[in-house]
Amino acid sequence: MGPDSEAGSSVPWRKVLWERQPFPDNYVDQRFLEELRRNEGLHKYHYWAVVKEAGIVGQQLSCVAIFITLWLYMEQGSLLPETLLWTSLLIALLGYGLHQLLITKHGLDCKPRTHLANLQSATIFLSFTFGFSPVLKTLTESVSTDTVYAMSAMMLLAHLISFPYTQPSPPGSLSLNAALFASVCLASRLPGALHTFAMLSCAILVFALWPCLLQKMRERTPHHFTVVCVGVCLGGVVGLGSQSCSGAMLLTMALLSVTLLCPILLVRLQQQKDNISGPWDEAEIHDDIRQFAH
């Protein structure tokens, strides 16, 4: 740092590289810090807005808890596969109707699928799943139960970590494959092939179709989205509490931490953010260079 000109020099310093000047290469004048900028373009978060966005994380945790609860009921024989199949079919029809209503009410997509195409896709999936259910039932017979449970837990954890929370529709391939792998492992420990088919159908409904409907509600009916997230979280806690009180307490603590505590930390830590910018930053070229590609 120094004055605009060194002693004995009447030439003022200029911030240019193409001109030879009577100054050292590392010389800067007193105006150097005048271009300092702090937290440029900082997005300020508000607590309740962050809580609302964190709701999708909490409801995904609850979806996993609901799926595990249904599997526990089927393993214990308290839930018949026929009951789960008919319930899943009814929920799928209601969800499909709501999805179409959201599309038609708030504007059609660019290339909407026809009802016939959706019916064909569902028929093909259900046919293949039903046909391969006996194979999937015996898929892990040579693997110990503890290993199957450990793999399922790791895959469900991978599903939660890799889930695209910002844009859950369509669900990410890694997240969906991890959830389906865990579903196959758990379904293979059920009594019969029909149990396996019912569990896999429920897994597709929870991990593949539900995120698509949730994203539509998130984009077009934000108030209903918040109510649905709260309802799913309550359903996960109540369902898991019917099987394990300690599990329900852990889930409640996780939901409170994710949806209430973590937003507080984010808002508090944002006040400590100190990002400086200035003439020492690398130059950024904002021009469109595609015009020079020809």
Question: CB count, 10 Å around CB of 264?
Answer: 12
User: Is 88 contained in some domain?
Assistant: no
pLDDT at 72: 94
Question: pLDDT of 227-248, one tens digit each?
Answer: 999 999 999 999 999 999 999 9
User: Is 18 contained in some domain?
Assistant: no
3-state SS, one letter per residue, for the chain: CECCCCCCCCCCCCCCCCCCCCCCCCCCECCHHHHCEECCCCCCCCHHHHHHHHHHHHHHHHHHHHHHHHHHHHHHCCCCHHHHHHHHHHHHHHHHHHHHHHHHHHCCCCCCCCHHHHHHHHHHHHHHHHHHHHHHHCCCCCCCHHHHHHHHHHHHHHHHHHCCCCCCCCCCHHHHHHHHHHHHHHHCCCCCHHHHHHHHHHHHHHHHHHHHHHHHHHHHCHHHHHHHHHHHHHHHHHHHHCCCHHHHHHHHHHHHHHHHHHHHHHHHHHCCCCCEECCCCCCCCCCCHHHHCC
Per-residue pLDDT, averaged over 90-106, amounts to 85
Question: CB count, 10 Å around CB of 46?
Answer: 10
- Which of the four pLDDT bands, split at 50, 70 and 90, describes residue 7? very low
User: Is 80 contained in some domain?
Assistant: no
Q: Which of 14, 37, 1 is nearest to 281 (CA)?
A: 37
User: Is 208 contained in some domain?
Assistant: yes
Per-residue pLDDT, averaged over 44-56, amounts to 89
- Which of the four pLDDT bands, split at 50, 70 and 90, describes residue 197? very high
pLDDT at 134: 87
Per-residue pLDDT, averaged over 176-198, amounts to 92
The Cα 146–Cα 165 span in angstroms is 30
CB 253 within 8 A of CB 236: no
Question: pLDDT of 204-228, one tens digit each?
Answer: 999 999 998 998 888 888 888 889 9
User: Is 26 contained in some domain?
Assistant: no
pLDDT at 8: 46
| Residues paired with residue 38 on neighbouring β-strands, in sequence order | 276
Indicate the number of domains in the chain: 1
Q: Is the model more confident about 46 or about 35? A: 46
Least confident of 27-31, 67-71, 81-85, 199-203: 27-31
CB 184 within 8 A of CB 139: yes
CB 163 within 8 A of CB 60: yes
pLDDT at 283: 60
Question: pLDDT of 126-161, one tens digit each?
Answer: 888 888 888 888 888 888 989 999 999 999 999 999
Q: What is the rounded average pLDDT for all residues in the chain?
A: 84
User: Is 143 contained in some domain?
Assistant: yes
pLDDT at 253 over 50: yes
User: Is 200 contained in some domain?
Assistant: yes
Per-residue pLDDT, averaged over 70-82, amounts to 92
pLDDT at 4: 46
| Residues paired with residue 277 on neighbouring β-strands, in sequence order | 37
Per-residue pLDDT, averaged over 114-127, amounts to 81
User: Is 266 contained in some domain?
Assistant: yes
The Cα 187–Cα 202 span in angstroms is 11
Per-residue b or e along 244-256, where b marks 16 or more CB atoms closer than 10 Å to that residue's CB: eeebbeebeeebe
pLDDT at 111: 58
Question: CB count, 10 Å around CB of 31?
Answer: 12
pTM (2 decimals)? 0.78
Cis peptide bond prior to 191, omega within 30° of 0: no
The Cα 98–Cα 217 span in angstroms is 9
CB 275 within 8 A of CB 42: yes
- Which of the four pLDDT bands, split at 50, 70 and 90, describes residue 14? confident
Q: Which domain holds residue 260?
A: 56-75+114-270
pLDDT at 292: 47
The Cα 50–Cα 29 span in angstroms is 44
pLDDT at 125: 82
CB 51 within 8 A of CB 24: no
pLDDT at 9: 55
